[in-house]
Amino acid sequence: MASEGGATGYIVHHLTPLSVGEGFWTLHLDTLFFSMVLGGVFIWFFKSQAEKATAGVPNMTQNIAEMLVEFVDGQVKDSFHGKSKLIAPLGLTIFCWVFLWNLMDLIPVDLMSLIASLMGIEYLRVVPSTDLNATFALSISVFILIIFYSIKIKGVFGFAKELTCTPFGPFLMPFNLLLKVVEEIAKPISLGLRLFGNLYAGELIFILIALLPPLIQPALSFPWAIFHILIIVLQAFIFMVLTIVYLSMAHEDH
């Protein structure tokens, strides 16, 4: 694969999304397609388990679904003290969806693009988390929820007061505002970039390993894949936990 355009060409090819449109109105079809399919998988699995959910003895798949639900519920109960119908399902959706995105990283790097090229598709990037648009779509949605709940719980004035009068009191208002704005903006940016960075780097290393001589590849890609099993779960978990923490912070009145 490294023959056409050399190593750089190979890497660039693998990291270029399948896109249509110009400028801002460009759509990354591969990101949209895979995240929708994975979202569908998530919805299908949990919907079928929710329909079968009984108080009786659960079977294997029900156990998995219930374990995930209880796991997320426990995380929410640990850090969020209050009642919200949204936060726990939001956490479950984020955890499972991001996990499924990241799971695509474990598919051999050349396999999907080979299939795509046989189907006549030139570029294909299968891991949605290596697309900044996907990770920022999540983190900006979470950011909107943070702002929404801050205003809903504390009121417009309460939120404005928190932005301007903490942590240094009302006399340092502009400084306070600057600090708070940076703090709030940092939340979605760090959320989105953390996930993107981890998965992009992971994918890049898989691509670099794929450039090595075939006999050396398994020796490197195998440990890296095992290590990546940890990374993909961990990143999904971190995204979920931080979302819950940010939203519970938004719910707390100081």
Partner 1 sequence: MSINATLIGQMITFTLLVWFTMKYVWPPIMQALEERKSKIAEGLAAAEKGQEEIKLAEKKATKLLKDAKDQAADIISSAQKRANEIVDESKINAVEEGDRMIKAAQAQIEQEISQAREGLRKDVSALALRAAEQILKEEIDKAKHKTILSKATEELG
Instruction: Check residue 244 for interaction with partner 1 (CB under 8 A).
Output: no
DSSP symbols for the chain: -TTTTHHHHHHHHHH---EESSGGG-EEHHHHHHHHHHHHHHHHHHHHHHHH--SS---HHHHHHHHHHHHHHHHHHHH--S--TTHHHHHHHHHHHHHHHHHGGGS-HHHHHHHHHHTT-------GGGSHHHHHHHHHHHHHHHHHHHHHHHHHHHHHHHHHHTTT-GGGHHHHHHHHHHHHHHHHHHHHHHHHHHHHHHHHHHHHHHTS-TTTHHHHHHHHHHHHHHHHHHHHHHHHHHHHHHHHHHH---
Minimum Å gap between C-beta 111 and partner 1 is 23
Minimum Å gap between C-beta 54 and partner 1 is 6
- The single residue among 3, 60, 83, 85 that binds partner 1, judged by CB under 8 A, is 85
Q: Give the footprint of partner 1 on residues 92-151 (CB under 8 A).
A: 92-93, 97, 128, 131-134, 136-138, 140-141
Instruction: Check residue 47 for interaction with partner 1 (CB under 8 A).
Output: yes
Q: Which is nearer to partner 1, 125 or 221 (CB)?
A: 125
> Per the residue annotation, which of 129, 150, 176, 198 is the catalytic one?
198
List all residues 6 or more positions away from 195 whose beta carbon is below 8 Å from its beta carbon.
Answer: 98, 129, 135, 138, 139, 235, 238, 239
**Could you confirm whether 198 is annotated as catalytic?**
yes
**Could you confirm whether 194 is annotated as catalytic?**
yes
Which range touches partner 1 (CB under 8 A), out of 62-70, 173-181, 207-215, 230-238? 62-70
Which range touches partner 1 (CB under 8 A), out of 54-62, 154-162, 174-182, 204-212? 54-62
Which range touches partner 1 (CB under 8 A), out of 16-24, 182-190, 208-216, 220-228? 16-24
Nearest of 113, 179, 183 to residue 143 by alpha carbon: 183
- Residue 162 burial (10 A CB sphere; 0-12, 13-18, 19+): middle
Minimum Å gap between C-beta 254 and partner 1 is 27
**Could you confirm whether 84 is annotated as catalytic?**
no
Instruction: Check residue 27 for interaction with partner 1 (CB under 8 A).
Output: yes
Which range touches partner 1 (CB under 8 A), out of 88-96, 147-155, 213-221, 225-233? 88-96
What is the per-residue binding string for partner 1 in 192-231, x denoting contact by CB under 8 A?
----------------------------------------
List all residues 6 or more positions away from 32 whose beta carbon is below 8 Å from its beta carbon.
Answer: none
Active site residues: 190, 194, 198
Kindly list the residues in this chain that would bind partner 1 in the complex (CB under 8 A): 21, 23-28, 31-32, 35-36, 39, 42-43, 46-47, 49-51, 53-56, 65-66, 69-70, 73, 85-86, 88-90, 92-93, 97, 128, 131-134, 136-138, 140-141
